[in-house]
Amino acid sequence: MRRTMKAMLGLAAATAVQLAAAQTVQQSTQHTAQQPVQQLSPVEQQIVAAIHANAPQALELLRQSVLINSGTMNHAGVRAVGKLFRDQFDALGFQTRWIELPPEMQRAGHLLAELPNRPASHGKRLMLLGHLDTVFEPGNTTPAWEPQPGPDGSVARIKGQGVSDMKGGDVVILEALRALKQVGALDGSRIAVMLTGDEEEAGNPKTVSRGDMVDLAKRSDVALSFEGSITLKDGMAAATVGRRSTAFFELEVKGRQAHSMGVFGPGGYGAIYEVARILDAFRQQVVEPGLTFNPGVILGGTEVSYDEANSRGSAFGKTNVIANTVTVKGDLRYLDYAQRDRAQARMREIVAQSLPGASAAIAFRDSYPPMAVTPGNLKVLEQYSRASQDAGLGPIGMVPPEARGAGDIQFVAPFIDSLDGLGASGGGAHSPNESLEVASIERSAIRAALLIYRLTRQD
């Protein structure tokens, strides 16, 4: 745990959980820094050697996967990337299948690869998560694959579509498992890999599009997700033990329509003053670390309409008329359900304190469940950090939960210990500048392979 806590101290935006934990170990961190690096076992040394030897093939696999466009809505492309990886898992002795989703969902489906059940199986049951799709639909102008030479002329970085989000991570999964296979360390392990085809825009309802993933979680002990590794300000690599929910709120406000000259009179202030009161009270009074809510769009007047599918709307009103209607759409992000419940209760109270002549109603809708920072997640991070240090790759810190958007791991984190950010290291995801540091594929594959090796030998 100490290494984890030491990492936390470097973070500017620590949550209450992090702060409390960090304070208890502040005095011990100096000692921790001097701890000797543990030796890798002979088998672990072979695993590291195999990953180094396979590095050129890993880059070639990444190139092949990136050159196939797999925007979420390009179903043929998503399936083709799935086929590319499926062949690789087949070759490693995994049983593979393509999970189809209902046609009306308009998503390509997912790849599932599992080691066959053996009588003498051992250790933790692992599920590894990646995704096949990218945000880059066909016809976009971002370069697909642009190698960037480093000072010595070798390829140091790759710019391209989905290199870090997250075909690089998918390759890390494969290279970790390939090395384990080559040293005979997969026998008897219980490992399943799910590469989803719609992570960037998950199909609805999510109970269906994420149903197989949740089922898999219920027969697994630990989930490892291979989204990009994050580098903290001080240069330390970091993984994700918590992520906030994605949820939404809708505020409907009504007022009494009348001549504007009476706006401060007994008829009431109208809907626009009322919504101003509500939103400002939210901002000033519903304050907790890790909690945010953002009114993203607001329409007010005497006639408003909002087109949900296209996220746009129109409003009609006159300066000499008191507005009688306002609608607001926003998001709400929280660390755990207790925080959600506190926030929602406080917001409902504020909404109910209506100005004269006005009334309002607020509705909430959950989308991605929160990945709470649990002791179990911190323990997996500690083991990951230990593996990294034992391989001479330095300790792994913790990404603040509020510093990441939503991801697939959140659907399984309520059920099992979970860690995310085990993928390769890059930047500029979802933008024309998306890029990947080539050497990080090897680094992350070594860390992941050692963690998987140790977890599958631990009860």
Binding residues for Zn ion, rule: CB under 5 A, are 165
Q: Which is nearer to Zn ion, 165 or 221 (CB)?
A: 165
**The tokens of 262 are what?**
């009476």
Contact 170, 195 (CB under 8 A): yes
E strand map for 319-432: 325-333, 359-368, 396-398, 417-419, 426-427
Burial grade of 104 (CB within 10 A; 0-12, 13-18, 19 or more): exposed
Write down the least CB distance from residue 430 to Zn ion, Å. Answer: 6
Report in angstroms how near the CB of residue 406 gets to Zn ion at its nearest.
9
Whose Cβ is closer to Zn ion: residue 434's or residue 442's?
A: 434
Tell me how far, at minimum, the Cβ of 210 lies from Zn ion, in Å: 16
Q: How far apart are CA 300 and CA 306, in angstroms?
A: 11
Least distance in angstroms from the C-beta of 142 to Zn ion: 13
**Which residue, 167 or 181, has its beta carbon nearer to Zn ion?**
167
Give whichever of 165 and 417 is closer to Zn ion, judged by the CB atom.
165
In the complex, minimum distance from the CB of residue 165 to Zn ion, in angstroms, rounded to a whole number:
4
Question: Minimum Å distance from CB 368 to Zn ion?
Answer: 13
Q: Which of residues 238 and 387 has its CB atom nearest to Zn ion in the complex? A: 238
With contact defined as beta carbons under 8 Å apart, do 177 and 130 qualify? no
Q: Which is nearer to Zn ion, 135 or 326 (CB)?
A: 135
* Residues 255 and 322 sit within 8 Å (Cβ to Cβ): yes
Closest distance of CB 320 from Zn ion, Å:
48
Residue closer to Zn ion by CB (options 50, 111) is 111
- As measured in angstroms, the least distance from the Cβ of 132 to Zn ion is 12
Q: Which residue is nearest to Zn ion (CB)?
A: 165
Is the sign of the CA dihedral 411, 216, 204, 430 positive or negative? positive
Write the DSSP symbol of residue 321. Answer: B
Of the candidates 240, 239, 243, the residue with the CA atom closest to the CA atom of residue 388: 239
333 — phi, psi (to 5°)?
-120, 130
Give the DSSP H/E element, type plus range, for residue 399: none
Mention every residue, 6+ apart, whose C-beta is less than 8 A from residue 265: none
DSSP sequence for 400-445: -GGGS---THHHHTTTSEEEB--S-BEE-TTSTT-EEETHHHHHHH
Rank residues 44 and 165 by Cβ distance to Zn ion and give the closer one.
Answer: 165
